[in-house]
Structure 1
Amino acid sequence: MTGQLETVEVVTGQAPEFSVIWLHGLGADGHDFEPIVPALTLPVPMRFVFPHAPERAVTINQGMRMRAWYDILSLERFSVEDEAGIRASEALLIGLIEAELARGIAVQRIILAGFSQGGAIALHTGLRYPQTLGGIMVLSAYLPLRGSVEAERSAANAGTSIFMAHGSADATIPEALAIQSGQALRSYGYDLDWHSYPMAHQVCAQELADISSWIDRCVSAAAG
């Protein structure tokens, strides 16, 4: 248990120097990306924290309860958003960041990551967090609550690297939405590392290699 959320943790070596807080997608849990860690080439010992999202009723699934960071009201209109749920999960993620700080990991050595709606929460929170993070990883996701970014974004993460990746055949979250999100981020001046892969709503081997390279750059930037 970390803060208010149960988590799965993977530590890649003694005395981890970096923490990656990685949020799963709708209906999954913290174990979903646990097997990914051995496939990454990492420059230093790291702690991966995979939280389990709370269970809630999800509108697009006929109100069934499942693990979700926020309600999905429509797959056709992503502009119709569960703002209260998004902001509640932002608070939960901030709690996880604070837990890593309490363990002695410097804030610039904490990476926020997530897949699908988990990536949306990582991005939403990272843009607003008042201290400079080590990086933000957004996989098969998009920028939520776009209309509030200008007023709420924090100058502390204006230069933080954002790794954003999407599948060109994604039928769950269309790549066009991710491209629009990336364009919005670039318009605000963010350092966006964009990648597109010939895949559906998933991850692929080349993506993992690119993530490894990006993490290496984040580690180097934090050391410099």
Structure 2
Amino acid sequence: MAAPPPAPAAAAAARAGGLVLWLHGSAETGEHSRGQIAPYFSAAPAVRLSFPTAPIACVGDVVLNAWFGIPEVPITATTVRDEEGVLEAVEHVHKMLDKEVAAGTCPTDIFVCGLSQGGALAIASVLLYPKTLGGCVVFSGSVPLSKSFAVRVPPEARKTPVLWFHGMADGVVLFEAGHAGCAFLQELGMACEFKVVHKQMSFKIGA
């Protein structure tokens, strides 16, 4: 006879400790990011780490991993994105979050983080998610959606705190893009702390 499914309490216990979902930059992979990022969490063994890899995309003659289309670089505060592609990527992240919540993880124990293009996807995913998460950390990212999307940001999402790091010397995603992104979140009433890094991050890869 097959064993009965675990009780909800048991499922929740199996998911104790929370989750950090890390979204890499373009031209990277989840496994590469794991090698760089996971050691920083060695002192927190209860935290589960997830490093998904973006699908393969063709950018001109170059084949690489990218969450959505890459516009011309550098990325500025006024760069126009392929918002349809961004929303498709956001839906993919939301499915991962929904699966985690359904498995018993409290939404406030989930942290969505990302670097560069992954940072842009992280903040877009948090803005449009219908639950309050534990937090979002953006490293040299930008908001890849127009301000018209402000009306689509649910009240629960506005309660998710954001920590934003951006390098003054970033030549791919310009400092102005990060600063404008944080200001946009603050206009929405979100708690966004902006941290200036006075040199380019050593693991900075793509837009």
Q: Structure 2 length as normaliser, TM-score?
A: 0.83
Label 1:144 to 1:42 Cα distance change in 2 as closer, same or farther (>3 A): farther
Q: Which residue of 62, 65, 68 corresponds with 1:64? A: 62
Q: Percent identity?
A: 27
- Structure 1 letter corresponding to 2:50: V
- Report the counterpart of residue 162 of structure 2 in structure 1: 162
Give the Cα–Cα distance (whole angstroms) in 2 for the partners of residues 179 and 94 of structure 1: 25
| 8 Å CA contact 2:74, 2:173 repeated in 1 | no
**Residues 162 and 191 in structure 2, CA contact (< 8 A), matched pair in contact too:** yes
Gaps spanning 5+ residues in structure 2: where?
1-13
Q: 1:101 to 1:77 in 2, by over 3 A?
A: closer
Change (3 A) 1:76 1:197: closer
2:75 and 2:108 map into 1 onto residues whose CA distance is 35
Cα separation, 1, equivalents of 2:194 and 2:85:
27
Q: Which amino acid aligns with 2:73?
A: L
Cα pair distance change 1:195/1:100, threshold 3 Å? same
Which residue does 1:176 correspond to in 2?
176
Count of matched residue pairs: 188
Partner of 1:100: 100
CA distance in 2, matches of 1:98, 1:151: 22
Aligned partner of residue 170 in structure 1, secondary structure: coil
User: RMSD between aligned alpha carbons?
Assistant: 2.0
- Please state whether the residue corresponding to 1:86 is helix, strand or coil: helix
CA distance in structure 2 between the partners assigned to 1:104 and 1:39 by the alignment = 25
Question: Contact 2:23–2:30 at 8 Å: present in 1 too?
Answer: yes
Q: CA deviation at 1:148?
A: 2.8
- 1:91-130 residue pairs with structure 2 within 5 A? 91-130=91-130
Name stretches of at least 5 consecutive residues in structure 1 with no aligned partner: 1-13, 205-224
Q: Distance in 2 between matches of 1:121 and 1:77?
A: 14
User: CA–CA distance in 2 between the matches of 1:42 and 1:111?
Assistant: 17
CA contact (8 A) 1:19 1:110 kept: yes
**Cα distance in structure 2, aligned partners of 1:31 and 1:77:** 25
User: Which residue of structure 2 lines up, in the alignment, with residue 37 of structure 1?
Assistant: 38
Distance in 1 (alpha carbons) for counterparts of 2:111 and 2:64: 26
Question: Bigger shift: 32-41 or 120-129?
Answer: 32-41
Distance 1:41 1:148, change over 3 A: farther
* Bigger relative contact order, structure 1 or 2 (CA pairs below 8 A, ≥6 apart): 2
- CA shift, 1:37, in A, is 2.2
Bigger Rg, structure 1 or 2: 2
Change (3 A) 1:72 1:15: closer
Q: TM-score if structure 1 supplies the norm length?
A: 0.77
SS in 2 for 1:33: helix
